[in-house]
Amino acid sequence: MHIKIGNLTVELSFPLAAAMTAVIICDSSMSVTICFIAAIMHEAGHILALRRYGSFPKKIKLTLFDIAIIDRNKQLRGLKKELVVILAGVTVNIAAAILSYALNKFFPCAFFENLLAANLTLAVFNSLPVDSLDGGQAVFLLLCEKMDIKRAMSVLDVISFIILIPIGCLGFLVLLKSKYNFTLLLTAIYLMALILIRKSGDIFSEMHSKRDKYED
């Protein structure tokens, strides 16, 4: 599903659209809806940072597990500005968590408690030095200052698996204990799968390049 908002194209995957419909119908506690709100705040942080530096995304892809902002100008910004853009989402989540905590002190209610928890969870999770997460992108940029891109990506892959394997084990334990909560385990598997798919694509491209060079 594609939605045009001025020059911006929002691409919404069918699984996400189905999940959002189910949430609207079934989420009487609004806990999942609040998580969506926190996720929107996170992405808004990135977009505001892009606007701060004179850029605006042409496309935003929303899937069940990820929100990707297609930014064509990222190569034109320096390291410091790009780090600001990358970490802006986490910064907004932390600010929203602090605000939710303060509001809950004066107006105690489940909404502010859940909004606090959702924003803190997103901030901590996205700060992890894992490929595809904000923390991983920031670490990759810093590594690229010290080494070539290929080696930096290999180092990030190792760091990512060191972080994700314990998270996956914890997610499995949570699933066994709760009998239904598979979110953490599925997220860890999804992120590891993304790394493996990219690695296999890199290996295939390298083999193809070597074959073409040999045939020439």
Number of C-alpha atoms within 13 angstroms, CB side, residue 54?
3
Over 50: is that where the pLDDT of 214 sits?
Answer: no
Do residues 102 and 142 share a domain? no
123 plus 23 within the same structural domain: yes
More confident residue, 135 or 72: 135
Of 88, 111, 127, which residue sits at a domain end?
Answer: 127
- Which residues, in sequence order, are CB contacts of 44 under 8 Å at separation 6+? 92
Between CA 57 and CA 187, with CA 115 as vertex, the angle to 5 degrees is 65
pLDDT of residue 169 exceeding 90, the answer is: yes
Examine the domain organization and report whether 71 and 141 are in the same domain.
no
In a domain, residue 216? The reply is no
Verify that 119 and 141 share a domain, yes or no. no
Residues 121 and 20 in one domain: yes
Q: Are residues 79 and 42 in the same domain?
A: yes
User: What whole-number percentage of the chain has pLDDT above 90?
Assistant: 38
Q: What pLDDT score was predicted for residue 198?
A: 78
Query: Is 185 inside a domain boundary?
Result: yes
- In the chain, the number of structural domains is 2
Mean pLDDT for the stretch of residues 73-88: 83
d(CA 85, CA 74): 9
Looking at the predicted structure, is the pLDDT value of residue 200 above 80? Answer: no
pLDDT on residue 213: 45
> Are residues 112 and 133 located together in one domain of the fold?
no
Tell me what pLDDT residue 187 has: 86
pLDDT score of 201 more than 50:
yes
pTM: 0.80
Task: Specify whether 173 is located in the same domain as 198.
Answer: yes
pLDDT band, residue 195 (cuts 50/70/90)? confident
Average pLDDT over the chain reads 81
Query: What's residue 124's pLDDT?
Result: 93
Domain range for residue 170?
A: 129-210
pLDDT digits (tens, 9 = 90+) for 115-128: 999 999 999 999 99
Mean pLDDT for the stretch of residues 46-70: 76
- Residue 204 predicted with pLDDT over 70: no
Q: Identify whether residues 35 and 88 lie together within a single domain.
A: yes
| Residue that the structure tokens 């066994």 belong to | 176
Are 69 and 113 part of one and the same domain? yes
**For range 60-73, the mean pLDDT:** 67
Chain segment 16-34, per-residue pLDDT in tens: 566 666 666 665 667 778 8
Tell whether 215 is covered by a domain: no
pLDDT at 9: 74
Amino acid at 101: Y
> Where among 101, 127, 153 does a domain terminate?
127
**Residue 66 pLDDT exceeds 50:** yes
**How distant, in Å, are the alpha carbons of 32, 33, 61, 79 from that of 21?**
12, 11, 18, 40
Share of the chain above pLDDT 70, in %: 74
For residues 46 and 213, the model is more confident at: 46
Mean pLDDT along residues 60-81: 71
